[in-house]
Structure formats: C-alpha cells, structure tokens
Chains A and B, each alone.
Chain A
Amino acid sequence: MKFTIRARLATAAMATILTTVPAYAEDLNVILFGMPYTYGLAELEDDFEAATGLTANIEVVGQDVFENRITLSFTGKTGDIDVVHTPVIQVQRWVEAGWLHPVTDGVNGMDTKDDILAGPLDAYLVKGDYWALPFFAETGMMSYRKDVLANAGYDHAPTTWAELLEVAKAVNSDDVAAFAMRAAPGQGFNMFVFPMIMRAYGGKFFADYPNDLTPAINSPETLEALNLYIDLINNYGPPGAGNFNFSEVAAAMQAGKIAMFVDGTSIVAQSLDPEKSQVLEHMAIAAVPEGPAGRSPAIAVHGLGIPADAPDPEVSFKFIEWATSEETLAKIALAQPFPDFTRASVAANPEVIAKYESINPDFLNLRVEMLNDAIGHYRPLLPQWPQIGAAVGEHINAAVNGLESPEEALAAAEAEMAELLAE
C-alpha cells in the first residue's frame, strides 16, 4: 500500500515535469558567441526558414557561457547542438578531441566553393579534411587621427614600428595619448596583437614551425619587440593602458583620447562608426607597421562547424551553407559593422562597397592587402595553442605592468611553453 502511494506520487511528479518542459520545437539548434556577424545572423532566422523550409533556433551567448555550454555538450555527447561557432584557433584542439564532424564532402560539392576566400577556408583544413566554413576573417590595421599627427608635422601614418615610436614621442600629450593596443592577458587579447610587433622584429614562437616545435620565444628579437610594446603602452598610452582590452581601446579612440592604435579590422571599424566616434572627421586608417623582418598583420578566422554528435549532419550542413552564402553575408555586412566577410563576391557587391566606402574609401582594399600579408599560422595552429597562448600572454602582461622584467617574462614564457608541450 505504502509503495503504491509513493509510486503514484512519483508518477504525478514525473507527469508534471514532462508536461511543463517543452519539447525542442526547432529543427536545428545553433550556438554562437556574440560578435556583429552572429547578432546579424540571429535576426535572419525567418530567412533560413524561407530558403530551406527548416527552422532554426539561433542562440547567441557570451564567450565564457559558450565555452562552458559546448564543453558540457561535447563531453556529455548530448547531441543537443546542430551547428557550433568554430574559431580557427580552437579547431585543432576540437579535432584532436573528436568533437567535430568533417564537412569536406559538403564543401567540395558546393558550386560556389571558389568564391570563398582561400586563406580562411584552408585554415580549416586539418588532417586532410575541412572542419568548418568560415564566415569571418579579421586582419590587423592601424587607425589614427590625422589632425593630431598633422599638428606635429606628420602628413602620413608611420609605416614602421620604429617610426611609430618617433611619432608617438612627438604627438603624446595629457589630453590625447599617442598610442593604445590591447594589453589585457589572454590568448585572444594581448596575444592577438603582440605577435604583430614580435614577428615584425623577427621573433617567433617556435624554432621552425611546424617542423621543429622547440619553443624559441626567448630571443633577442622578441625581447626588442617586447621592449618596444612596453615602451609604447606605458610611456605613450593613456593611464591604465596596461589592462586595456579591445573594448577599452575602441572606447578611448571613439572618445578622441588616443592618436593611434593597431588592432583587428572589427575594432578599427568601430573607431570609424559614425554613431559612436566623437572625432570621426579626423580619423584615417593605414597598414600595420613593418619591422626589420617585414610586416605581419594579425589574422583571426571564425566559422561554423558541426559537432561530431549532431543528429543529422546533412541538415546541419544546409544551415552553414546558407549562413555563409553570398546572400546572407551581404545582408549582414549591410546591417551590421561587419567588413570581415569571407566571400569575394560580397567584396564586389555594389551596396556593400558603397556602405564601407562612405565610412572610409580605402577600408575594403586595405583589408584585402593586409589579409594577403598575413600568415595563416600567425598564432601557431596547434591543439595546445589556447593554453600556450594564455600562459605566454600572462607573462607578457606581467612584463608590461612591471611584475616581471621583460627578460624574466620571456624566459618564464619559454619554460612554460616547453612544459605544456611535454604534457
């Protein structure tokens, strides 16, 4: 008797739970983290339904929530994600862990494969397979204030890092700091921008990537680059620059508080945003400065991939094909500050050209030039890179803020790289 009462209670409880939890109503669950493209895509759910007859639930979350969410889903093999935001910087690690489903057949079967920019697409080629379709290819660029430079007698942007330091000395004032750059520690923060200086001075992460992965960051070349980076941030940057991330850099530029910065194209585009910039009429853009070893603009590629446990990879592929199509990319390029599209045809679209020309006539051409100069392994494509980049970034930041000397920081970074690779 007792048992039946309990059983009945339990059944009632289960029934209540089951009726209040809605079943997944959509055909596809897409999880992305916030950036202009993903915000734009989330508004096009109806377009996807009109194009394919399928429905999608596009969820855009913060990057930290994203990491936790996908890690739980992938390790728990829950199969609840059909399409996942796949940054190139993670793809090696995810492939190694067996978290992704290859999309090689789908990509090779596309009529418009040749329209996709080759560099970003090939970044997803790991172990002979494609693992995602790129929607975003960001590169490095400089943004500066013509008026501030002109007042100091410079009629053009500095073309080398040494010249940039010279200009910084000439233009720095209490009201307008000469320079800013990301300095906050992180694989995607200071380690997205610092290698632009490091590689320009001939510094490198490894002895001979990818053949000889002996850590080689502790070199005179990298030390010279690090000293320049520290000098620029501490002596010619705004107060507090040692903790600046891209949002603080962009905000300082929009408020007219800095004269020059070097960052990714998406941040440079924000400095040219007519709605936000208080000094728009003075803004100009230029190439990433060169060093003794040439120019090395940053590159970051994001794409859409299919989790290994997605229930129907063919349906998932239909989504990523649509989401990275010429039509969708052009729509988002027009609706959002999104000049980082990955198809040649979008760059040739008159409306897109008109929009970005009105902001800055050189922007799209300069972007292509920088993309051509960028090397694919700007940040080494290794499964361990996310943790190596984070550890190195912490030492670089410690050196900027005086917690370690530049020599100590590079020695410690090299030792930790070796430890992480040996594990």
Chain B
Amino acid sequence: MAQVSGVQPVLQRSYRLMLMPAVIAVLVFAVLPLMGMFWLSFTGFDLVKGWDTGLTLENFTRLADDRRFIGSVWVMLALSGFGVVAQVTAGTLIAVGLEKIIPRWRHVRGIFVVPFVVPHVAVALIWLSLFTPTLSPINAFFDLFGITVPAFLTTRWGAISAIVIADTWASFPFVMLLILAALQGISTDLDEAASIDGASKMQVFWRITLPLLKPALLMVALFRFIETIKHFPLIYVMTNGGPGRATQATNYYAFIQTFQNSKVSYGAAIAVFLFIFAAIISFWVARMNSRLSDA
C-alpha cells in the first residue's frame, strides 16, 4: 500500500486498520456476490431441476436468440432514456429556480425532497391509483367538465410514460440536490460580471450557468441512468410488466427468469449483461467528463 503523504509512519498502520472494516464490507457484500453471479452465469442452475455445474456459454448464446430478452432491452432503453431526460430536466430547472430566481425560499426546499424519501413500492401504489381511472382524483376532476382522460396503463407507450412519470416524481429531488450543490460551487462573480456587460438572465443561464454545470449534469445523469436500469418495484406494482410484455424491462425479465421460471443461471447471465452494459456507459461518461474538465 502506498504511504499516505504527510502522515507519520506510525499512524499509517492505524489508518489502514481503520479502513479494514470498509474494505471487508465491500469484499463481502459487493465483490463476492458479483463473482458468484459471474460464475453462476456460466453454469446451468435451475431451482427445480438442480445443479449442472459444468461450465458453459449456453446462457449467453441463448440470450442472443431470445426475442423476449431483446425486447426487454428496448423497453429498458425507453424507460431509462426518457426517464433520465425527464428527471435531469425537472431537477435542474427546480434547482436553478430555487437558487437563482427565488433564493429567499430556502426554507421550503425541504418540501421538494419529500418524494425522494418515499419507498418505491409506496410511490408505485400512489401512481397506480392515480393512473387507474376509476380511482383517480385526476379523472374525477376532469369528469366534472366532461373531459375523459385516457387510461394510461392499457397502452404500450401510455404504460411506459406512466412509469417514467412516477419515477421522475420520485427521483427529481436527487438531481435537484446535486445540482443545487453544484450551483453553490459556482462563483456569483461570473453572473455579476455578465450582467454588468448587459447579459440578460436567460443569456446568463444558457451561456454561463449551464456550461459550468455540465460536469455535474453528466454525473447526475449517469447516476440516474444506472438507477433506472434497475427498475423493478414500479413495474411490478403498476403494470406487472403489461400490457402484454410492453413494460418488461431487462431487470424485470431477469426476475421472471430467476424466480418465476426458476432459471437462476439464465437470470444471472442477464444480470451480467446489465452489469457490463452499466460499466461501459459509466466508463464512457467518465471519459467524457474528464475531457470536459480538461477543456
């Protein structure tokens, strides 16, 4: 292990010892299960039929031909793509609004964080009732004026939009908090200098604030992207993957294969795909980010 610079050698050992619990926790709770998952994906383990421990690539060759799997990747991309755009846009607008337009409202910021602390199953139940026309106050309200709100959960894109809306409601506060922190790190001198030179508020936002926020926006979009590919409770509660299979995202499909169809190794192979997919995206975003910081 490298020496921690500027620290007396006697302290080095206690520093390392104090790090040990964290290192052990990561090993036990993250690295070992991950290795187990990789190993499982190369075997043939079926809950009902039992173990076939010989190593095989069959799970991965099957993935390539599995139309349900390929369909699930498109569903995942739609949910994640629209979800990330919606959450980052909403979170950023609210953060900028709170910081720049109504800074005196600092004490109400807490209210915006409330959806973030609601458990996802509860979020799903709330939005399931809002999207169920016979239960929804939204439908009841529009009915008063004779307007019929369409049923979201019975069409492909309606159901995908419903999940994106529920997820955006629950997750924009995360974006908002990180963007608020980033905004507070940007010196107000720049804004002032620009205003003195005659720039309007919109120009300041587009030309100064937004470019300076880019690294933070990228990172927060990455975090949200990784979270959205793990979609589960919203789908499970709101649509059961329906209508038909229209909202069976890849992670949900892994659950179906593992727990419903008992094909643990095949489920693990899908999880390995998701892990590698997330890793590639993270690597790519990190590189873009370092280029931005170098620029």
Contact = CB atoms under 8 A, between A and B. Distances in A.
Given A9-B17, A239-B139, A71 B47 contact: yes
A239 B150 CA distance: 8
Given A9-B17, A386-B260, A397 B244 contact: yes
Contacts of A404: 244
A146 interface: no
A64 B262 CA distance: 14
B227 to A, nearest CB: 19
Given A239-B148, A240-B134, A403-B156, A97 B243 contact: no
Contacts of B159: 243
Interface stretch (A184-192, A282-290, A357-365): A184-192
B132 A248 contact: yes
Nearest to A185: B242
Contact of B134 (A2, A186, A252, A402): A252
A248 B243 CA distance: 16
Contacts of A248: 132, 134-135
Contact of A401 (B17, B133, B243, B261): B243
A255 B134 contact: yes
Interface residues on B, range: 35 or more
Given A184-B240, A243-B153, A251 B135 contact: yes
A9 B13 CA distance: 13
A395 B246 CA distance: 11
Interface string B92-132: 00000000000000000000000000000000000000011
Interface residues of A, number: 44
Interface in A158-197: 184-186, 189
B259 A67 contact: yes
A387 B261 contact: yes
A401 B154 contact: yes
Nearest to A420: B261
A68 B134 contact: no
Contacts of B148: 239
Nearest to A248: B132
B133 to A, nearest CB: 4
A395 B151 contact: no
A238 B259 contact: no
Contacts of A97: 47-48, 50, 262
Contact of B153 (A5, A240, A257, A403): A240
Nearest to A255: B134
Nearest to B51: A75
Contacts of A394: 241-242, 244-245
B273 interface: no
B261 A68 contact: no
Contacts of B155: 401-402
A71 B239 contact: no
A380 interface: no
A243 B262 contact: no
Contacts of A310: none
Given A240-B133, A240-B134, A248-B135, A397 B243 contact: yes
Contacts of B242: 184-185, 243, 394, 397-398, 401
Nearest to B17: A9
Contacts of B131: 240
Contact of B239 (A241, A243, A257): A243
A9 B20 CA distance: 11
Contacts of B240: 184-186, 189, 245
B236 A238 contact: no
B259 A71 contact: yes
Interface of B: 13, 17, 20-21, 47-48, 50, 131-135, 139, 148, 150-156, 159, 236, 239-246, 256, 259-262, 264
Which 8 pairs, one residue from A and one from B, show the smallest C-beta to C-beta distance? Answer: A398-B244, A240-B151, A242-B154, A401-B243, A239-B133, A243-B153, A403-B244, A240-B133
7 contacts: A13-B21, A97-B48, A97-B50, A184-B239, A184-B242, A239-B134, A404-B244
